Structures are given as C-alpha cells and as structure tokens.
Chains A and B, each alone.
Chain A
C-alpha cells in the first residue's frame, strides 16, 4: 500500500470513529437529506493508447464533491479533483518533468440502491480538464472538455457522516494541436480514479 495513502487513511479512520462515538449510542438516521459534501483521496490510473497512459507515473490526489438531492433518487452538484504525475517516458510525452491534472465537473447522480445506511449511485459529469505541466524552469498547459462517469458506494456511520468509495472514469478531450498521426494520442485521454473518503450530510 502506498505510504502516503497509509499516512492519510488511518488518521482519517480514527477521526471518523471518534466522531461516531461522540454521537448518541443508537444514532437516529434522518432521511430528509438536503445535500452531501464528500472529500476523498484519489488513486488514479490511466489506460489506453494516449500520452498519459504511456508516459506518466500518476500520483495520488484529492477529490471534493458537493451534491444536492433534488429527489430521493436524483442528485445534482459539482466535483473537483486533482492529482499529479511524473513523466517516466519522455519519448511518449516530450520533455516535461511533471504535471498536475485538474478536473471540474457539473455532475448529476442517480441512486441505484438506497437504504438508510447504504447507497449505491451512478453519476455523469460534464466539465473541464486542465493539465498543468512543468518543464525544467517554465510551465505550460493543456486543457479541454471532460466527461466523467462514476459509480459510488456509501455507508452512513452516523446521522451526519459517512464513508464512501467511488470509481470515476475521466474522458478528457484536450485541445492539443499536433501532427495528424498523434492527434488521438494527445487529444483523448482516459483515466480511472478510485477514491475513498468521508461524506457529510446536510439537512
């Protein structure tokens, strides 16, 4: 297991358990949820024939999402996520040292399964992707349109707090101008991002 993940995850789990213990012995779960705010730790993995998959060692990152429940089944909101990556194969990317990849999406979600404590959801996001690159001393960036699909599993530990795991699939359509034979390779990237975090419920 990644050491930075360990350093982050176990203190978070202790924090959550302390919060839950601080609540009533038998928590009452209020079903009238207005919204949710989630913060999670992201473990990204690129795949496919594109420059991120072929040239990067992606590092872990952070994802923040806020959702408003418009009905019991449907939610809308936004999510922001970022992670970093070091270039391991200069042949595939060009002379870039490292990059910070940021996504911002407007998201809509649907509850496939929802009980008082458990929830399984799927979602779709439409938004913007930005790749900030660091060359030796200067910076450059790529950006473009992005689509995110996700499925998430949540578990309420208490009335106002829970934990969740989410798998995002980012499809980025970057506006990179390059040789025709490299167009798809640079313009379309696909990244899976597994995230684990805590969720706060607002009533």
Chain B
C-alpha cells in the first residue's frame, strides 16, 4: 500500500473515539452545598461525569457522520451532614466538560424534596495537587407554595396571569458562560374575571426560587401587560400579587 495512504488510515485509526483516562492518577473534587435555613444537610447523592464530543465509529467520514457525545460516570459519593462533599474520580484526559450532579433524578438515593443541582465546567477551575475546589452553592428545599392574586383597585378588567417556575433543578456553569442559571421550565396560569376578587395558584417550587410572572389586563382589548419577577414573601410562605 502506498505509504501516504497507509499513514493517513493509521492516523485515522489513532484518533480517539471515546473518553480516555490517565494511568496512575486520581482526582479529588470537593465543595460545599448548604441550605441557608438548615444547619445540617441530608446525604444527597453526588455524581461526577466527564463528557466529550468524538467522531463516530465510522471515523473515515467524520464530516458525514458528525460527532457523538461520550459521557462517563467518573466518581460518586454523598453529601456529608455539614454540606461538604469529596469525590474521588478517575482522571479523564480528553474531556470537554466535567459535570457535578447533586441529587440526580434517577439515582437510587434521589430525594424528591430536594432539587437537583448541576455544576458544569469543573474542568475550567485550576487543578492544584490533583484537586478541583468547587465554589460553595446554596441549595434550598422544594416546598409547596402558593401565589395569591387579589383584586383591589381594578374592578373592571379581566386578568390573564401566567407564572414560570422551576421546582426540580438549579444550574451553575463554571466554564466559559460563567454564572448561575434559573431555568424556568414549569408553567401555570389563571384567569380572574371582573366579578372575582381572588385567585390562588398552588405549586411546588424551590424555596425562595425565582418565579417569573406575566399578565395581561383585558377589557375590549389589552389594557395593560407586564413581565416581572416575583419576590418570595417569608411571612406568607408564598407569593402575592395585587391589582
């Protein structure tokens, strides 16, 4: 076989198609998760995953087949009562992301009164002495809460009220898109006719979690509309809207 062709095919064969791991190396990921209102934390499961995008097994035509994501569990442990965690992992050498998941739905130790927490981009942190030190994260419990809508001054318009909230998870990105995200995948709504004084929406949410509200006041056409974030009222143990 022509040497150039042989070298080309050998090169393709040597291209890694999956996550690989360093010999003689273990990593330690440690951090702290606390609830501002609780002194002790439950033993929530903590898992660490490595992921990367690799060309498919038909590697001769990566531009045709595209890439596939390879995701591996590399370590797991549980939260200690003081909220700290220490996870021993094997050491990926070609990963694009290291993701820490606390209380993943589907884990056998999942606790349904706590949200899941996704901390991605741990590999962007400095690795010192084979250790990644993750930042402290606050995590509140999931509670049953309510939104009370009260008609006070507006006696003529129909109110269409929507809320978006998240009762299941929280995301923190330590990578290039640094920041804490509050995805709001869940949705609820109500209508308050002019002859009604009050409406209550009950729902589950992460305590003190963000609730994004939007409303329209309608009276032969839209009179007013607005999108805003609602503040959690500790005394009411819920949210309140008056109009």
Binding site for B on A (CB under 8 A): 51, 90-96, 133, 135-138, 140-144, 174-182, 186
Contacts and interface: CB of A to CB of B under 8 A. Distances in A.
A176 B26 contact: yes
B134 interface: no
B44 interface: no
Contacts of B24: 141-144, 174-177
Interface stretch (B75-83, B154-162, B223-231): B75-83
Contacts of A142: 23-24
B28 A95 contact: no
A177 B90 CA distance: 11
B171 interface: no
A95 B19 CA distance: 13
B20 interface: yes
A183 B23 CA distance: 15
A176 to B, nearest CB: 5
Nearest to A180: B129
A91 B88 contact: yes
A93 B88 contact: yes
Task: Give the interface SS of chain B, mostly helix, strand, loop or mixed.
Answer: strand
A137 to B, nearest CB: 6
A90 B78 CA distance: 11
Given A140-B22, A179-B131, A92 B88 contact: yes
Contacts of B220: none
B73 interface: yes
Contacts of A133: 90
Contacts of A182: 26, 28, 88
Nearest to B93: A140
Contacts of B25: 176-178
B147 interface: no
B72 interface: yes
Nearest to B78: A91
Nearest to A139: B21
Given A135-B21, A140-B21, A94 B130 contact: no
A183 B130 CA distance: 11
Contacts of A96: 90
Contact of B74 (A92, A94, A137, A143): A94
B94 to A, nearest CB: 10
B26 A141 contact: no
A94 B77 contact: no
A166 B21 CA distance: 36
Nearest to B73: A95
B76 A90 contact: yes
Given A94-B26, A135-B21, A178 B130 contact: yes
B55 to A, nearest CB: 15
Contacts of A141: 23-24
Interface in B159-204: none
Q: Which 7 A-B pairs have the closest CB atoms?
A: A179-B28, A178-B26, A140-B21, A94-B90, A179-B131, A91-B77, A95-B73
Interface string B1-43: 0000000000000000011111111111000000000000000
Contacts of B74: 94-95
Contacts of A95: 72-76, 89-90
B86 to A, nearest CB: 9
